[in-house]
Each structure stands twice: as C-alpha cells, then as structure tokens.
Amino acid sequence: MAILKILEFPDPRLRTVAKPVTDVDETIKRLVSDMFETMKSAQGIGLAASQVNVHLRVIVMNLGDDDIGQRVFINPEIEVLDGSITPYDEGCLSVPGFYETVDRPAHVMIRALDGEGKAFEEEAHGLLAVCIQHEIDHLEGKLFVDYLSPFKRQRIRKKLEKIHRQNA
Ligand code: QAP
Ligand code: CO
C-alpha cells in the first residue's frame, strides 16, 4: 500500500480526460487500495484516480464512518432521474481549504463496475448522488470550482498558488 500525491488546483494535469478501464486486474486493484489509503490519510470522502495523476476511470468513496462505507466505482455512468436539483456545500481534496455551494441533480441512477469488475447499478440521492457527480467530473477534467463565478474561482486559484509557492 502507498499514499499517493494528490494534485491540487490549478495543476493542469487535473484537466486530463480519463480513459475507461479495460480489465479490473491486479494493477487496478492495487490502484484502488492505494487510493483508499490516500483518501483516508487526507480525511476525504471521495477520490478520483485523476487526482492522483492516474488518468483511468476509477473512483473510491467512503461516506460512512468506517470500512463499511467503502465504495469503488469503475467506468461509472449516471442517468439523471428527474428534474430536482440540490445545493450542497462541496469541498475537494484537490482544492484544500475551500468549500462552496454547487447545485446538481438530486436523484441519479449510477451504473458502474465494482472492485471485482462486476457490473452493478444503484439509485442515488443525497450525498452519494452529489459525490458521484463531483467525482465523475474529475474523470472529465472538471472541478467544482468550474461551477463558481470567475471571480470566486480566481480568488481560490490565487490563494492556492500562494500556498504552493510558500511550500516550494
Ligand atoms: C468530494 O471531497 C465531495 O478542503 C469529496 O481541507 C465533497 O473528500 C463531494 C477535504 C463534498 C460532495 C460533497 C477537503 C479534506 C475533503 C478539504 C472531499 C480539506 C480536507 C474533500
Ligand atoms: Co474533488
């Protein structure tokens, strides 16, 4: 197991579109396990492979307090089930220290492969619905800050760039 480095906004590598996984083999299982360890150490609830600079369609999530809530989504797709929209105060391990409200469809059907490569589908509301959309955005090279006004996005970018300069 290994803790991987999480890319931070505005790193251009976060804009890469991830490729589908063709085979859930040992390499993917190791990636999933490293992503769980990385997410846990960073105290996150969701992590997309794009955030650790692996441009494959893999997401891990832990919406519970412990290992019971651990979820894997490989090659995920969503279908919006109705017109309801929910606002949620989102954060992101790639945008540390910033939280902003984003509106998204409240009710979706998720279709994906699990950690063993088996297809499943699941209807989602609430935090799961929000989180899967946030994470699928990462696989498309999109970040929650892209939903904010250019003014807010630039303010966040400048603050993070300053922190990155200080850490360099
Ligand atoms: C995505 O985000 C998400 O700023 C997962 O200092 C979040 O795990 C989807 C985190 C909310 C929907 C709603 C953020 C940890 C974790 C920070 C995360 C921070 C430390 C964010
Ligand atoms: Co994120």
Judged by its nearest atom, the ligand closest to the C-alpha of residue 51 is 2
**Strand partners of residue 101:** 89
Q: pLDDT tens-digit profile of 123-142?
A: 999 999 999 999 999 999 99
Alpha-carbon torsion 138, 141, 144, 147, what sign? Answer: negative
Query: Is-above-0.85 flag for pTM?
Result: yes
CA of 117 to the centre of ligand 2 (A): 23
* Average predicted confidence (pLDDT) for the chain: 97
Protein residues with CB under 6 Å of any ligand 1 atom = 42-46, 88, 90-93, 96-97, 130-131, 134
**Cα gap 150→153, rounded to integer Å:** 5
What pLDDT does residue 68 have?
Answer: 73
What is the atom index within ligand 1 of the atom nearest the CA of 134? 9
